[in-house]
């Protein structure tokens, strides 16, 4: 049986997206506890108050995901970041119930995933959600083409059609001419391209990536990151992307959920995480990030002075401070922040330097905009 959740039912998360936003996954109060009698843990306040280590000592259970709530919005790259053992893989595997949640609610496109029967769940994993793994998970005795076509074969697609589709995908991920090779005849980066093609060929609504690039060397890794950005930009794919690498998270994520000991300690845009860390843990995590590459000019702008409204380079509000610095340095004058032909404010070298130094700016872009309006 499948139940349809009322889209308005889920509680909005404080500081998160509104409940009526166009969401793909809606996750509320999700727990995954491994160990004996795991079911009793989420509902027992005397146990949920314990730290992960205390809980393990007292009960022999590991709470890999602890009371986690978030939405994945349609078309976004949602990054799950955290150190090893923080619960990232467990969390992402619960989304398609490759790991059964212990408690909480979970829906996809408004449909209750926890209520799905086997058949419906299988359909979800075959057609709607594809996964890309760190160690590629390719079938060693099959060619590249047959590896890519595998998901279509499982769907029952006729041989010629699936080979045609797989061939088109080979070209798309930059593996031209390699379709007849076996995985052991490919480099790591090429193997991961096969993994990506195999996930894409079923045209899934969501792609889940579990640290897909961490085994690749830095240059190939950058290529693959560009590939993800391209898929996001050109095809508007919804993606959930796990990484323990902060720079990868900042580069790819529209929003980032930072996990620690099974909990989400902060969920926000890269700019929010770097610029307004929720606590000392997050602050420590992002301490070495070059702020000018993450913070936007919308955060650094001030009201225009006389005569500034029509002069100087024009930047969109989501331009980074690094781009602002370049514009100001080149033009030798303050730059304007412009959206839809409307002047939002001005950035000058003092404001831009203040961002780099991390001092004396409004707390949020909204606050910065308000300051400009009031001036």
Residue 62 binds ligand ATP (CB under 6 A): yes
Write the interaction track for Mg ion spanning residues 98-117; mark x where CB under 5 A is met and - where it is not.
--------------------
Residue 84 binds ligand ATP (CB under 6 A): yes
Q: Considering beta carbons, is residue 99 or 289 the nearer one to ligand ATP?
A: 99
Cα 226 from Cα 218, distance rounded (Å) = 12
Residue 136 Cβ vs Mg ion, minimum distance, rounded to whole Å: 15
Tokens linked to 321 = 């401070």
34 binds, among ligand ATP, Mg ion, none (CB under 5 to 8 A by kind): ligand ATP
With tokens 């590249």, the residue in question is 144
Residue 64 binds ligand ATP (CB under 6 A): yes
Residue in 82, 253, 324, 365 binding ligand ATP, rule: CB under 6 A: 82
Residue 94 binds Mg ion (CB under 5 A): no
Task: For residue 239, report the phi and psi dihedrals to the nearest 5 degrees.
Answer: -135, 140
Residues 34-53 that bind ligand ATP (CB under 6 A): 34
CA proximity to 209, closest of 183, 238, 234:
238
281 binds, among ligand ATP, Mg ion, none (CB under 5 to 8 A by kind): none
Task: For residue 128, report the phi and psi dihedrals to the nearest 5 degrees.
Answer: -110, -30
Tokens linked to 28 = 């509320």
Residues whose CB is less than 8 angstroms from the CB of residue 80 and which lie 6 or more positions away in sequence, other chains included: 88, 91, 92, 240, 241, 242, 243, 256, 257, 259
Cα 102 from Cα 68, distance rounded (Å) = 12
Residue 244 binds ligand ATP (CB under 6 A): yes
Residue in 26, 33, 71, 88 binding ligand ATP, rule: CB under 6 A: 88
Tokens linked to 353 = 């330097």
Residue 89 Cβ vs Mg ion, minimum distance, rounded to whole Å: 3
Task: For residue 343, report the phi and psi dihedrals to the nearest 5 degrees.
Answer: -80, 120
Residue nearest to Mg ion (CB): 89
**Which residues here bind ligand ATP, judged by CB under 6 A?**
34, 62, 64, 82, 84-90, 244
**Which residues here bind Mg ion, judged by CB under 5 A?**
89
């Amino acid at each position: 049986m499948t139940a349809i959740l009322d889209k308005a039912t889920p509680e909005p998360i404080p500081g998160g997206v509104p409940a009526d936003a166009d969401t793909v996954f809606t996750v509320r109060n999700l727990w995954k506890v491994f160990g004996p009698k795991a079911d009793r843990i989420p509902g027992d306040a005397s146990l949920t108050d314990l730290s992960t280590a205390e809980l393990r000592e007292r009960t022999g259970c590991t709470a890999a995901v602890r009371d986690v709530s978030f939405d994945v919005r349609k078309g976004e790259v949602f990054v799950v970041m955290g150190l090893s053992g923080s619960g990232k893989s467990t969390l992402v595997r619960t989304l398609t119930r490759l790991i059964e949640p212990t408690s909480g609610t979970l829906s996809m496109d408004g449909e209750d995933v926890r209520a799905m029967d086997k058949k419906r769940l299988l359909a979800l994993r075959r057609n709607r959600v594809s996964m890309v793994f760190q160690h590629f998970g390719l079938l060693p005795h099959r060619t590249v083409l047959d590896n890519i076509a595998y998901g279509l074969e499982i769907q029952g697609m006729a041989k010629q059609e699936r080979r045609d589709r797989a061939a088109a995908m080979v070209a798309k991920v930059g593996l031209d001419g390699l379709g007849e090779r076996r995985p052991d005849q490919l480099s790591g980066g090429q193997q991961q391209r096969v993994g990506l093609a195999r996930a894409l060929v079923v045209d899934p609504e969501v792609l889940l990536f579990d640290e897909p690039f961490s085994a690749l060397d830095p240059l190939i890794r950058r290529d693959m990151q560009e590939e993800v950005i391209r898929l996001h930009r050109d095809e508007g794919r919804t993606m959930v992307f796990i990484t323990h690498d902060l720079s990868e998270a900042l580069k790819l994520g529209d929003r980032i959920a930072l996990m620690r000991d099974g909990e989400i300690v902060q969920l926000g845009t890269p700019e929010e995480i770097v610029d307004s860390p929720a606590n000392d843990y997050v602050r420590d995590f992002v301490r070495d990030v070059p702020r000018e590459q993450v913070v936007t000019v919308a955060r650094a702008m001030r009201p225009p002075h006389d005569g500034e409204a029509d002069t100087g380079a024009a930047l969109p509000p989501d331009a980074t401070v690094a781009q602002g610095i370049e514009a100001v340095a080149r033009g030798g004058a303050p730059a304007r922040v412009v959206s839809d032909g409307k002047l939002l404010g001005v950035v000058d070298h003092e404001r831009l330097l203040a961002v780099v130094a991390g001092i004396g700016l409004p707390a949020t872009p909204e606050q910065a905009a308000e300051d400009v309006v009031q001036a």
